[in-house]
Structure 1
Amino acid sequence: MGFPKGRRRLVVAVTVLLALGAVAGIGYRVLAPAEVSTPAQAALPPVGTPAIGVVGRLPVAPLVVAGRLRVYAAERQLYADQPADSRNRVTPFWSYRRWPAQLNGVLAAGTTVLSRWSDGRLVALDALTGRVAWRADGPEPGAGSTARRTGAATVWNPAGISVTPGPDGGSVLVVSGQGRLHGYHLTDGRELWRVDGDPDCRTDLGTTGAGQAVSVDSCAGPTTVEFRDVATGTVGTRWRPPDAGDRFVVTPVGCLTPRSQCRGLRTAAADGSGGRGWLVGPGDPVAAPALDAADSTLAGELAVGDDGGVLKGREARTGKERWQRGDLGPVRILATEAGRLYVLTEQRELVTLDPVTGAQRSRFPMTVGRDGIGWKPGLAYASGGYVALERLREAAGPDDDDQGYFLMAEPVVLAAT
């Protein structure tokens, strides 16, 4: 004997509703916005002294923090391993994940690791523990992440985030996106100022070592470079190179990271011709002819560049030669940091030079095992005497997929100098 027809329909309807509710609950738990923080469960080991030479190879690009650990970026995750000179990537020491936002950029300042996400959220972590130090809302990046599978573009060349010394001895974080520019106190995430603009005619370049945010503005007339006080957000200097045309392009030079604490600029015509170098600081930029060449950079107080297979260090303002190295052959300048200039020879040797004298500090093949030298360098990074470098296939082009672009599954080589 069954249920009456009307009652049977009611039971079926209730069963369906309960099933739909269960599915909805599961879906919400899976798809709802979420933050998962997994701090370190153990203390960091003391700082080691790695042997000079290649440490090992990695599948992803690291940020070396405090000489003790390495920080990596994934699509929706930031994580670290240790020690810094581990030959391979090991079990995460700490991890931080957000959903559904994507990780857009990362930078390290001291022991603070700042992450920027596709929804504009800013999250600062204590690099030594992985614990969240602060969170803040910022301008959305606009464009999605363009990082390849190594994540190098996210951690070594983050767009729209930079730091610089503030007037109180702390650091100021400058974040730009979709025409908006914000300044934050790096210690606690407190917003100091914000300005709005038109993303179609203003480009925010980064920060200088003199506590300024630099933008290129062409909204109201000819292209002009603006230097903004990072403590207040107000423009202190508006500048155009002498004899410049109505439109020109500007490239930061001699930066701590690609966009932080830059000490120079290079201006050029819209087609890239007629490059001119400048030193930046308080007041108007000062001409630095030794920085005119597109492949020159600032290393310490000198402009360094390859001159016909001879690496030369010159005074930036006068062009007076201070040293030269003709024994290295053609080189690519990979990176600079305090007291170190890193160059790669055609034989794939990493040479570390004193930027003041050009004296050699270390030299060794940038190779691992039987990997050989049949590759070309990609993005590079240096911090605390460590150098990391992407290795690309010799015929790799920007339109190739990752399989055809990178040399192998572990394309990043890490070395201690």
Structure 2
Amino acid sequence: MGFPKGRRRLVMAVAAVLAVAVVALVVHRVLAPAEVSTVARGEYPAAAQPAAGVIGRLPAAPLIVDARLRVYAAHRQVYADRPVTGRYRTSPFWSYRRWPAELIGVVASGRTVVSRWSDGQVVALDASTGRVRWRAGGPAPAEGGAVPRRTGAATVWDPRGLYLTDLAGGRTVLVVTGDSQARGVELADGRELWRVDLPGPCHSDVGTTVSGQLIGLDTCAGPATVEFRDAATGAVRERWRPPGGPDQLVVTPLGCRAGRSDCPGLRTSGPGDADGRGWLLGTGEPIPASALDPTGATLAGEQAVAVRDGVAVGRSARTGAELWRFGGLGPARVLAVQAGRVHLLTEANELVTLDPVTGAQLSRFTLNVGSDGTGWAPGAVAATDGYVAVERLREPVDPDGDDQRYYLTAEALILAAT
């Protein structure tokens, strides 16, 4: 015996409705926006004091936070591991994931880690626990740009449109920019301080200064002009062009604390120029600094450092007076600077760290780990809290190659204490 014809149709209809409801529930659970925060369960680690030398190798670029954690970027996730001196990447200490938004950039100051997402959201996390401190809406990220490679170095070491700058009184401002808008946010609590409209792609941001300003480059009408915007109020304080400079400008920040944040100097040049003109940044117009003119020269505190013919030379950035010399390097380059350290890389991939004030050698060792050897070219680099991390690229470097061809090994990052 079966169901009567009418009842059978009713059962089939109910079954169909239930099937649709189940499918809709599954689709919603898979595709609906979601946020997953896995907070730390262990103790916040103490700051390490490792001996100078290579620590280990990593598959992803580490952002050293508070001298205690390594923070990494994935496609839709920001996460941390410990200890900072671990030879390899370890299980996450905490993790924060969003869907379907993509992670665009990460910056950190003290124990605050700020992540920016493709939907414009800005989320600040407590580095010691991974818990969300605050959320804020931000301008839509700028369109285009290079696609991040697998190490995530561009996301954590040079996040475009996401900058920090310190103000008087111990305040720190987060500046978030897009194609058509910029916003200033109080880092401590996520409170919006200001927002301004920008004219579009003809206006680009360069970074922030140590005196609390956002540096912009305006090419919308007439010759390119450098713009300095107060990070506390959003008001433009200075519009400046280098005297006698070209109509088209390339502006390169120098000596920045991290990425393009808190930069004490810059270099201006024309497109394709081998060298340019160096400048020191303060509260007024930039001050000429001829010691920063040559390509390869950089700023470490108040000192301009460059390598010529195997000799590193430190000069006063303000006067140009020579302060010290350090020879015996052979072909070498300035790799990175951080507070109290300038890092040089020789042709044999030796990392030489000097005191930028005196030129005294602080450490010297070869950047080699395991049996990887030194036959590689340096890629992106970051230096902070006494650590240096470098991408190792396969020679000859093929910038258009896929990641397997581009990087030396699967664990392409080498991390060292200096």
Q: Distance in 1 between matches of 2:246 and 2:373?
A: 48
Which aligned pairs between 1:236-385 and structure 2 lie closer than 5 A? 236-272=237-273, 275-385=276-386
Name the residue aligned to 1:148: 149
Letter in 2 for 1:267: T
1:312-331 CA distance string (max 9 Å, x none): 11222333221222211121
1:405 aligns with 2:406: yes
Name the residue aligned to 2:224: 223
Query: Greater CA deviation, 399-408 or 10-19?
Result: 10-19
Q: Distance in 2 between matches of 1:70 and 1:330?
A: 32
Letter in 2 for 1:138: G
Q: Distance in 2 between matches of 1:183 and 1:264?
A: 22
1:48-90 CA distance string (max 9 Å, x none): 3212211111111111112211111110011111111011111
Letter in 2 for 1:34: A
Contact kept? 1:210, 1:281, Cα under 8 Å? yes
Which aligned pairs between 1:121-270 and structure 2 lie closer than 5 A? 121-143=121-143, 146-270=147-271
Question: How far is the alpha carbon of 1:121 from its aligned partner?
Answer: 0.6
Letter in 2 for 1:182: R
The secondary structure found in structure 2 opposite 1:22 is helix
Question: How far is the alpha carbon of 1:414 from its aligned partner?
Answer: 0.8
Query: Greater CA deviation, 91-100 or 36-45?
Result: 36-45
Contact kept? 1:146, 1:153, Cα under 8 Å? no
Question: How far is the alpha carbon of 1:379 from its aligned partner?
Answer: 0.7
Question: How far is the alpha carbon of 1:273 from its aligned partner?
Answer: 5.1
Question: How far is the alpha carbon of 1:274 from its aligned partner?
Answer: 5.5
Q: Distance in 1 between matches of 2:220 and 2:48?
A: 52
Q: Distance in 2 between matches of 1:364 and 1:306?
A: 18
Q: Distance in 2 between matches of 1:246 and 1:376?
A: 35
Which aligned pairs between 1:90-109 and structure 2 lie closer than 5 A? 90-109=90-109
Name the residue aligned to 1:72: 72
Q: Distance in 2 between matches of 1:229 and 1:96?
A: 32
Provide the identity percentage.
61
Q: Distance in 1 between matches of 2:416 and 2:307?
A: 23
Q: Distance in 2 between matches of 1:398 and 1:83?
A: 32
Q: Distance in 1 between matches of 2:104 and 2:260?
A: 15
Name the residue aligned to 1:25: 25
Name the residue aligned to 1:11: 11
Contact kept? 2:246, 2:269, Cα under 8 Å? no
Q: Distance in 2 between matches of 1:153 and 1:388?
A: 13
The secondary structure found in structure 2 opposite 1:327 is coil
The secondary structure found in structure 1 opposite 2:409 is coil
The secondary structure found in structure 2 opposite 1:158 is coil
Contact kept? 1:280, 1:286, Cα under 8 Å? yes
The secondary structure found in structure 1 opposite 2:170 is coil
Query: Greater CA deviation, 304-313 or 72-81?
Result: 304-313
Contact kept? 1:103, 1:117, Cα under 8 Å? yes
Letter in 1 for 2:362: R
Q: Distance in 1 between matches of 2:188 and 2:49?
A: 29
Query: Greater CA deviation, 217-226 or 267-276?
Result: 267-276
Letter in 1 for 2:410: A
Name the residue aligned to 2:397: 396
Unaligned runs of 5+ in 1: none
Which aligned pairs between 1:51-62 and structure 2 lie closer than 5 A? 51-62=51-62
Q: Distance in 2 between matches of 1:36 and 1:14?
A: 35
Question: How far is the alpha carbon of 1:8 from its aligned partner?
Answer: 2.2
Aligned length: 417
Contact kept? 1:136, 1:189, Cα under 8 Å? yes
Question: How far is the alpha carbon of 1:292 from its aligned partner?
Answer: 1.1
Letter in 2 for 1:287: P
Contact kept? 1:249, 1:272, Cα under 8 Å? no
1:216-245 CA distance string (max 9 Å, x none): 112233211111111111111111111123
